[in-house]
Amino acid sequence: MSNRIDQKFSELKSQGKKGLFPFLVAGQPDLDTTVRIIQRLEALGVAGVELGFPFTDPVADGPVIQSAFTQALENGATATKIFDALARVRSKISIPIVAMVSASIVYKIGTENFIRRSAKAGIDGFIIPDLSLEEAPGVAQLVSKEDLRLSMLVAPNTPADRQEHIARVATGFLYYMSVAGITGERDQLPADLPAKVERLKQLARVPVLVGFGIKTARQVRQVCEVADGAIVGSAIVRRIAQAGEEANNSDDVVHAAEEYVRDLLTGLE
């Protein structure tokens, strides 16, 4: 079977569509709820899910995601438990799942072991934000042996020659950060975003997605006028956190995520 990320982008391209990739923190507020949210979002029509592995010292995540990571870790969301939770339900989920995971977690478990266990659990690819560009080709090679993908990050201030190098290494998709700095919701997207994405698409052999700062259906629409899809993270994580504080049960948390993503998807219509 070919990789689900490749399949999804091929399908979207043939239909002339763009994709929404919501970001979820694995274990916020607990792993069972995370899995239920993924299933609901698939039913809504998202293209895939980016799943954050909780980490004590995230590289580019703002306070909203850091807080969710802390909650997930306190609730015992280890890599092993995340793998187990996904493996139990993967046969019921057809969309791609991309793990956003720190290199520290990968190295601690062992790169080949982590990749093998990810494949067995049904993960389709990785974003490793603190993976050095020097180490990336070797990791990409190991990832490809399991028919998984290694998506790479490009920032607005990434030098041109480095962008070219990143574009050569990346598989699955390229993740363009709309702004330099940490994750978080923003009212306006940068004016130079279209030009930056167009340049990256000329370099890339894979689809280009845009994340960081996106929180409304209008912004999803703006991004998808130039990119192949949008990633929305902090805005969803914040709403899950709010619902968790106010709700009496996990159904309300799932519903809050579902309703927000339903609105975001109108940006693709």
Strand partners, 231: 21
Q: Is residue 61 among the annotated active site residues?
A: yes
Q: Count other C-beta atoms under 10 Å from residue 5's C-beta.
A: 25
Q: pTM for the whole thing?
A: 0.93
pLDDT in tens, the chain (269 residues): 589 999 999 999 999 999 999 999 999 999 999 999 999 999 999 999 999 999 886 555 567 888 888 899 998 999 999 999 999 999 999 999 999 999 999 999 999 999 999 999 999 999 999 999 999 999 999 999 999 999 999 999 999 999 999 999 999 999 999 875 444 444 567 788 999 999 999 999 999 999 988 989 999 999 999 999 999 988 999 999 998 888 668 999 999 999 999 999 999 98
- Tell whether omega for the bond before 96 is within 30 degrees of 0, i.e. cis: no
Provide DSSP, 179-202: SSS-----SS--TTHHHHHHHHHH
CATH domain 4-268 topology: TIM Barrel (3.20.20)
Provide DSSP, the chain: ---HHHHHHHHHHHHT--EEEEEEETTSS-HHHHHHHHHHHHHHT-S-EEEEPP-SS-SS--HHHHHHHHHHHHTT--HHHHHHHHHHHGGG--S-EEEE--HHHHHHH-HHHHHHHHHHHT--EEE-TT--TTTHHHHHHHHHHTT-EEEEEE-TT--HHHHHHHHHH--S-EEEESSSS-----SS--TTHHHHHHHHHHH-SS-EEEESS--SHHHHHHHHTTSSEEEE-HHHHHHHHHHHHH-SSHHHHHHHHHHHHHHHHGGG-
List the catalytic residue out of 6, 30, 50, 228. 50
List the catalytic residue out of 61, 164, 245, 269. 61
Q: Is residue 50 among the annotated active site residues?
A: yes
The structural domains of the chain, with segments of one domain joined by +, span 4-268
